[in-house]
């Protein structure tokens, strides 16, 4: 991407946030659907 998503938001932060969603982009819509939460591993 050539431009930041918004003022003060860098691409890495934006991409990390978007990694939590299934992103569907069409000619008319942008849809975000939350991915199921991953269980925390036992420590």
Rounded to a whole number, what is the distance in angstroms from the first to the last CA of the chain? 37
Distance CA 7, CA 10 (A): 8
Tokens for 39? Answer: 């269980």
State if pTM tops 0.75.
no
Give per-residue pLDDT as tens, 1-43: 566 556 666 666 677 788 889 989 899 998 999 998 878 775 5
Distance CA 8, CA 5 (A): 9
pLDDT score for 34 = 92
pLDDT score for 33 = 93
Using DSSP bridges, classify how beta strands 21-25 and 30-34 pair: parallel, antiparallel or unpaired.
antiparallel
pLDDT score for 5 = 58
């Amino acid at each position: 991407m050539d431009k930041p998503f918004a003022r003060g938001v860098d691409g890495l932060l934006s991409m990390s946030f978007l990694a939590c969603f299934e992103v569907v982009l069409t000619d008319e819509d942008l849809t975000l659907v939350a991915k199921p939460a991953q269980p925390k591993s036992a420590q």
